[in-house]
Structure 1
Amino acid sequence: MPDNLNVIALISGGKDSFFSILHCLRHNHRVVALANLHAGTDAAVQAIHPETAPREVHPAPEDSDLNSFMYQTVGHGVIPLYAAATGLPLYRRAITGGAAQSARDYDGAVAASGGAEEEAESMTELLRAVMERHPEANAVCAGAILSTYQRTRVESVAVRLELVPLAYLWKYPSLPAPGGDDAQLLRDMYAAGLDARIIKVASAGLDESMLWERISSEAGIARARKGLRFYGGGEGAVLGEGGEFETVVVDGPPSLFRGRVAVEEGARMVVREGGGCSWLSFSEARVEEKGGEGGGEAQVRVPDMLDSKFAAILEALRGGPSVTEVDPAVNHPLPRLADLRLSAQADGNSPSTGGGDTHWGCFADPLALGASIEEEARSVMDKVAGHVQPSSPRCITNTIVLLRRMSDFPAVNKIYGALFQFPNPPSRVTISCGGLLPEGRNIAVYITYRPDLAAGDRNGLHVQSRSYWAPANIGPYSQAIDVPIQSRFTSESSSAGGPRWVAIAGQIPLIPATMELPPPSEEASLTLSVVLSLQHLWRIGVEKQVQVWSSAVAYFPCAPDAERMAHRARLAGIAWKEAHAEPGEEDEDDGLQSGPDLWDRTYNPNYMTLGDGPAGPAPLPDWEVFEDSEGLSQREPPLFAVEAEELPRGAAVEWHAHGGLSGVEPRAVRTGTCSGVSAIKSRSVHWRSCVTAVTCGQQTLLHNVVTIEQEMSGEPEVAMEGIESLESVFRAIWKGTMATAGVEVDVLDAMQPPRPYLIYGTVSDGHGGERACGEAPSGVPFIPCRSIWDVDGRRVVAVALFRDTF
């Protein structure tokens, strides 16, 4: 059952913070207190109890506004009335300090270490005071919708205070809505009985005649949309997300408001700041009893769990074509690579590298074996920290954690997280391999890192709040990290153009609002789990503007038999194929794209003017980036399924996209496949190679997925005695693939093929050899698998991933 939390509600007086409270109540959480930060100089926390709360206020005239990126302060004179209006205790504190950290993502450790006082830390002191008076409090809610600047600061404070952050409105405009309207949030507020009035306008499209307009109404929506559209308001503008307007809530449903806030017309005075900015200053306000009017519970709409695209995929899996049908694999011509300057960078004798990244992994030091899992994990993480020196752990973009027992995860996670005490830690994939790890080894960690990253090259997405959008990452890993494909393609500015590589965390089918798995019910649960976790991957990809995936794997827990595992692989394959439907096969973009927030417009050069509004993210997949559009629906990126031992939280599936590409120019991507048979020590090795070539300025990124397929009479395992070096086999196949793509033989003979950056192999218990698992300094990260399957439900022996730039 979902946990029922005791919530401290951060309020500004505006519509979003109060609507967030209604969603907390909708999920059966209990709001224990309201908390508010306001303009002023007194840092003492003021407690206002409902029984003694004022029912009338006479605020001092306001002639200026704090204009904070973080807090709404206009109209703060009426805030004391909310204790009487809601029957909840209210705690207030003045905002002290300034925005010393103007970066979008907030580093709480820097703020706590001293130096310039941060305005965000006023929230820390306020919440700490509330917790002293309400020790049962274990969560905090806020009304962030599109503002990463605001959300990351609330999350930083909440996590440090061990409070669960709740942001049910996060990405609300992009979630499934009845009419697909960017104003759906306002309509939902109206349906719930929330009365929100505009008290400040700061857009050329909205003049002072909009002041005191009820924005949570059809009339208010129409007026705001007309003005903002005329002046080119972007997505989210009709919600005020770019600072176009601010609101104050004067009434709400009886479940929250026992009284309404009344401000007579004569007590509302317009303050004109200039530049199209004006607001209302109140000289008097009071609470009026509502009596017995109105109904009971608020009608709070919860967005559908699945977008229409993924709801259709779910239906296709449940009642569409039989998943037992197997279509033969089809080869598409490889991209012609005759002019590729392979000798420029390829170095087959260096540590495993790929496209500027370095891949490395390790086990614990032998002296740490046989002790506790904590000691073993500490040894591994000490090795990781030492390996990336003289760089810092910030150069790590992605990790893969292999455990013998998933029950060890909490202990390992605590030690793992100690290395990544900074904003946007690496994305992470975690699986349990059980007895497939070498005997005596309980943990292996693989890292992808880029020691040459310039300042601003590394961007991240780390949402730690519960929402309806995607699962929260409460802990030391981000949903995604993106870096330039090659540092040479960027300048010192993070806004520099060029293709980027996006590393996304493994996605399991948690229901975002509750962080619970779907209820177990055999086949129905498996199907929903496959689709829901794939949607999580897609939403994160869209947010990071991924245009195409390089490849992906769907991990499944240990299956009772091969038939069941083959069925799982086919389910994943159908879902993957449906998600890559050609244009015209589905409705256009299912959800509305996110718009710029106030931070974007001030610091992000892409959004410093509205004009016709910023362009939304590219669709995923973005077929415009492909050079050849023929047969796109037959050319989705490679996918395979892996049978592991266990997955986090006992999940039924975990999706792992090996990489996403963003910032790709039109017609810059070429793909193709080939297959063949190679003789290796009297054995015939059947293989298949899938190549993606991406033009990056004067260079080309090559991503190659090589599969060794199982012969009908062959062994389904990696037999190291039969194939002395699995890595050398894959490198030979890579060389053959390049020859098929037109690369001159003398060029290939003069070079060492690159190492794979990741290998999956089917092994028996205890035979995941240490060298294969990356213990050697030059070893290739290796994931031992109980079985590996293609999307048609056929077993394969091993899969290798290559990535390099030439």
Structure 2
Amino acid sequence: MPSKLHVVALISGGKDSLFSILHCLKNGHDVVALANLHPSQTAPATGHGLAAEGDDVNSFMYQTVGHSIIPLYEHALRLPLYRQPILGHAVITDKDYHHPLDTPAPGCVSVSTPSSAPRQVDAAAASAKDTAAKLAASAASATCEIANTAGNDSALRRQDHRQADEASVLPAPAESAGDDTADETESLFPLLRKVLAAHPDVNAVCTGAILSTYQRTRVESVCARLGLVPLGYLWQYPSLPPYADAALLRDMNAVFQDARIIKVASGGIDAGFLWQNVADQKTIEKLRRAAARFGGEGAVLGEGGEFETVAVDGPGCVWKGGRIEVDVDEEAVVGEGGSAVVRFKDARVVEKAPCEDRGLENLRTPDLFDVEFEELGRELLLSGPGIAADITNKSIDRSLANAPNPPLQSLSFHSTLHGATLTVSNITAPLTNNERLPPTSQLEVIKSYLLTLLSTHSANPSHITSTTLLLRSMSLFTLINPIYGTLFTSAPNPPARVTIACGSSLPPGIDVSLSCTVDLPHLQPNNMKNDGHTLRRGLHVQSRSYWAPANIGPYSQAIAVPAAASAAGSNVVEIVHLAGQIPLVPASMEMVRAADAAAFGAGEGDDFGVQTVLALQHLWRVGRAMGVRWWVCGTAFLSASESREEGEGRARLAREAWRGIHVRLRAKEENDGEDEGDVDVWDLKFGNRGTGGVPAVEGDGRVKLPNFEGVRLEAGHGEEDVLAPPCLVAEVLELPRAADIEWTSPGLTNCEDAVLRKLKDDKTGLVVHETKAAGGMVSFYAAGVVDEGQLWDLEEVLHSAEVPVDGRVYTVYTAIPFPQEWLDGSKPLVVPCSRVWGPEGTEVAAAIAVRYCKKSDSS
């Protein structure tokens, strides 16, 4: 069962922050206190009356209009309220926030980690210092290993912080009175510390952020420093079923939450909306019409600042003390540009009228699975037994079926620079006096060497876009992850990360291996904005939500960088590096079970199928949030199976899931084109529950992924081929959180001219899948080889396709050792596996992915 959290609700008085409290309760948590930041000149309230409203602060971060109502929530909700003045202003105006004290929270360590673990890490780090320094000097021969596991969340993540005096260990710059140089975000720090002093059991903070990365990352920054779990159950709500902006307002209506519009700031949403209940069906329809004419994304919800609200009533399970009754002036305060604000005359908490009350039982939570993935799951589970049987006959290379896997004897380190991209592969820590270093010491050596290497290229860890971390065992993660995290403390959005445990497939003496890609924008002027900032984009969501798993560790869900030399602009094609996605239920951060997928008929024994579908959905949701339009090559990592037959069935099911979702989405795109404007998603799926029977005609506004209109098949493909990227499957020992499957794939944004071809070697039958995009500036290749001889056949095919040797970046998933001559020439990132299946669906000795980007004349 998910652990219960003790939550402080950060409230502004608006509809979303109050509604998020209801979702905390729905997820089994206790809300024990309220917290609010207000303008520094606010006069205190007297009794249960209205405080002086004063001026609305022009804050980038906090809603302050209506702040005079805030003291009444303590009585209305029967929860203690803690307040703090907003000091400073928006000093850091970047969308993503980073504070110098931001560090990976102790909660990145598993709940079961003994309290001595941090001391063990420190001791290991200290003992490795001398070794690391010596080996860093001989960089050419240095090799290394690293560990990483995705998504461990913990209600105990604050334990280390509480052992020290927070006032001295965690200073809050904004706490100094009158400090106008501090960022206003930091006002949240002393507020939450005040709450913790009064409620030591508090271990989580909930907010109402929906689409604002600006707000979310600032709250997450403060939570990380205090070891608190951020809860953002409304995050990306419009992109969840039923995929409509107004769905959130309808959900509020269904539980009788009453939130009034108190400020408008848009020409389309005028003063006529003031003091209307935003969740009333008539108001929703008026907002939708106005947003259609004048608004952008999220305008129906006021996400662009179109309007602000104040909640005055709601379900009795939250509003235990009564509702707020407000007397408002008939004349609004009119400002510039069409803005207008309600003028409060008085307000009080009054007893709620006896009537039908709606609470948690009427609160809709978004379905775990998107419609297309629910349908995919149903289809896969129905055909599951057939898949397992069919693979035995069709997809195994019999020469490999019972072949023993000789272990790799070493991992060769390689570092290559092409254009503005530095590729670093297979860093491991060598034996010292023929003795293997402890895993933590190995990582210290790796870290020291990597920092030295980066400095030679005028770079630092903030330039790393993605990492691949190989462990001998996932049991090493809790010791190694804190050391890994110290690499990424100087900037927001650490690199995306894929982590697997390879067991005995790793060479003897090696417990950790690290590979990474590094973006060097100073070598590519077109990859810089006019203000000198890099074009790199990141997505690092650390809050629990219904959307996708939170990444509380030192890794982002995704990092995007320009794919090739091109003029900077909105249409530049980017490569999006995604973290490995495992099948955690986002709201609880627990591993999904078959029981969670009753919607598509999952039952006992269907855990792997359910995990496959959910992890794949996570990949899609992150990809859509980053604007991915086409996947390059899907890779499914599988944990070790109990038998070869089970492994074969799992590999087949993973490939069918990859193929099936592309087939399903292609059909959906074609149907949408025929029936555009006729689909009522909310009505079809939810039957207008809570809408008063008024139809809600809204289409699916999610990013099209894949964007089939921008892709075409060419030479080598037959009529039976599906328009889908290749898919590789690799079986390893273990995956993070004991998951059965982990999905990842590079993605492309602004992909409007991709061409897919099959290149064939007529002599050996080797098939190489090619994807070209950005006018041929970037290309990708995938193939499976049955023996080392086909490595040279692959080189011949690439040569015939006129892919220059300089600039090729290889990733090899292999169950066999490779000839050193080929390794020295191709310089691949090597992922040792127990079994591998190539893009044709057959078991192979190794699967190879190759990336090539043309470099500009200026790089």
For this structure pair, what is the TM-score category when the shorter chain's length is used for normalisation?
0.7 to 0.9
- Residue 688 in structure 1 maps to residue 752 in structure 2: no
The equivalent of 1:407 in structure 2 is 475
Cα distance 1:633–1:27, how it changes in 2: closer, same or farther (>3 A)? farther
Question: Partner amino acid for 2:203?
Answer: N
Q: Taking structure 1 as the reference length, what is the TM-score of the superposition?
A: 0.82
Does the CA contact (< 8 Å) of 2:494 and 2:556 recur in 1?
yes
| Pairing partner for 1:464 from 508, 520, 542 | 542
Task: Give matches, 1:169-568, under 5 Å.
Answer: 169-177=234-242, 180-229=243-292, 231-265=293-327, 270-290=332-352, 293-295=355-357, 297-298=359-360, 299-320=362-383, 322-323=386-387, 324-325=389-390, 351-352=415-416, 356-361=420-425, 362-367=427-432, 370-389=436-455, 390-421=458-489, 422-453=491-522, 454=528, 455-486=533-564, 488-491=565-568, 495-519=569-593, 523-568=605-650
Supply the distance in 2 between the matched residues of 1:146 and 1:352 (Cα, whole angstroms).
Answer: 39
- Report what 1:123 is aligned to: 188
Q: Kindly indicate whether the alpha-carbon contact (under 8 Å) linking 2:11 and 2:35 is maintained by their aligned counterparts in 1.
A: yes
Find the residue that maps to 2:332 and give its secondary structure.
Answer: strand
Cα distance, 1:673 vs structure 2: 1.1
Matched residue, 2:48: 56
Identify if the C-alpha distance between structure 1 residues 484 and 446 changes in structure 2 by more than 3 Å, giving closer, same or farther.
same
From 623, 639, 647, give the equivalent of 2:708: 623
- Code of the aligned partner of 2:505: L
Distance in 2 (CA, whole Å) between partners of 1:708 and 1:791 is: 10
| Residue aligned with 2:667, SS | coil
Give the structure with the larger helix fraction.
2
In the alignment, the residues of structure 1 paired with residue 721 and residue 346 of structure 2 have an alpha-carbon distance, to the nearest angstrom, of 64
Secondary structure at the counterpart of residue 584 of structure 2? coil
Change (3 A) 1:290 1:42: closer
User: Contact 1:93–1:126 at 8 Å: present in 2 too?
Assistant: yes
Aligned to 2:656: 574
| Distance change (3 Å), C-alpha of 1:235 and 1:704 | same
8 Å CA contact retained: 1:577, 1:633: no
TM-score by length of 2: 0.77
Deviation at 1:159, TM superposition (A): 1.0
State the percentage of identical aligned residues: 39
Q: Which residue of 1 aligns with 2:199?
A: 134
Question: Contact 1:542–1:619 at 8 Å: present in 2 too?
Answer: yes
Match of 2:738 in 1: 650
Q: Against the structure 1 CA distance between its residues 158 and 7, is the aligned structure 2 distance closer, same or farther, given a 3 Å change threshold?
A: same
* Matching residue's letter, 2:791: F
Between the aligned partners of 2:586 and 2:762, the Cα distance in structure 1 is: 46
Deviations 1:84-140 (A, max 9, x none): 101100001110100011110001117979693000000111001111111100000
CA distance in 1, matches of 2:476, 2:226: 25
Distance 1:802 1:553 in 2: 13
Which residue is equivalent to 1:780? Answer: 828
State the SS of the aligned residue for 1:109: coil
User: Residue by residue, what CA displacement relative to the aligned partner does 1:181-233 show, whole Å, maximum 9, x if unpaired?
Assistant: 3211001011122111111111111221211100111122122223333x322
Contact 2:810 / 2:827 at 8 angstroms: preserved in 1? no
Deviations 1:621-676 (A, max 9, x none): 1112124589596131111111100000000100021x111122x3x211111333
Kindly state the Cα deviation for residue 413 of structure 1 after the two structures are TM-superposed.
0.8
* 1:555–1:653 CA contact under 8 A, matched in 2: yes
Residue 642 to residue 219, structure 1, CA distance change in 2 (3 Å): same
Q: Is the 8 A contact 1:54 1:84 kept in 2?
A: no
Partner of 2:223: 158
The answer for the alignment partner of 2:758 in structure 1 is: 673
Where do 1:763-802 residues align within 5 Å?
763=816, 779-790=827-838, 794-802=842-850
Q: Kindly tell me: are residues 252 and 558 of structure 1, through their superposed partners in 2, closer, same or farther at Cα, counting changes over 3 Å?
A: same
Distance 1:522 1:567, change over 3 A: farther
Query: Does the CA contact (< 8 Å) of 1:85 and 1:287 recur in 2?
Result: yes
**Secondary structure in structure 2 of the residue aligned to 1:536:** helix
Runs (5+) with no aligned partner, structure 1: 47-52, 330-348, 594-614, 679-684, 711-722
C-alpha separation in 2, matches of 1:32 and 1:434: 45
The aligned amino acid for 2:500 is I
Q: Is the 8 A contact 1:365 1:379 kept in 2?
A: no
Match of 1:676, as an amino acid? D
Please say which of residues 380-389 and 148-157 is displaced more in the overlay: 380-389
Counterpart amino acid of residue 618 in structure 2: H
Q: Structure 1, residues 676-731: CA drift from partner, whole Å, max 9, x if none?
A: 366xxxxxx653211111134xx521211121036xxxxxxxxxxxx4xx8xx636
**RMSD, aligned α-carbons:** 3.1
Supply the distance in 2 between the matched residues of 1:11 and 1:388 (Cα, whole angstroms): 43
- 1:302 is displaced (CA, Å) by 0.9
Aligned partner letter, 2:737: R
Question: What is the total number of aligned residue pairs between the two structures?
Answer: 710
Superposition deviation, residue 738 in structure 1: 4.2
Deviation at 1:790, TM superposition (A): 3.8
When structure 1 is superposed on structure 2, of 441-450 and 114-123 the one drifting more is: 114-123
Q: Report the secondary structure of 2:516's partner residue.
A: strand
Instruction: Tell me if the contact between 1:502 and 1:662 (Cα under 8 Å) persists in the aligned partners.
Output: yes
Q: 1:266 and 1:802 mapped to 2: Cα distance? A: 66
Q: Does 1:706 align with 2:783?
A: yes
The SS at the match of 1:275 is helix
Partners of 2:739 and 2:334 lie apart in 1 by 56
Alignment match, 2:168 = none
| Paired letter, 1:471 | P
- Structure 1 residue 59, shift from structure 2 partner: 2.9
* Letter of the 2:445 counterpart: S
Partner of 1:693, secondary structure, is strand
- State the secondary structure of the residue aligned to 1:706: strand
* Partner-residue secondary structure (3-state), 2:591: coil
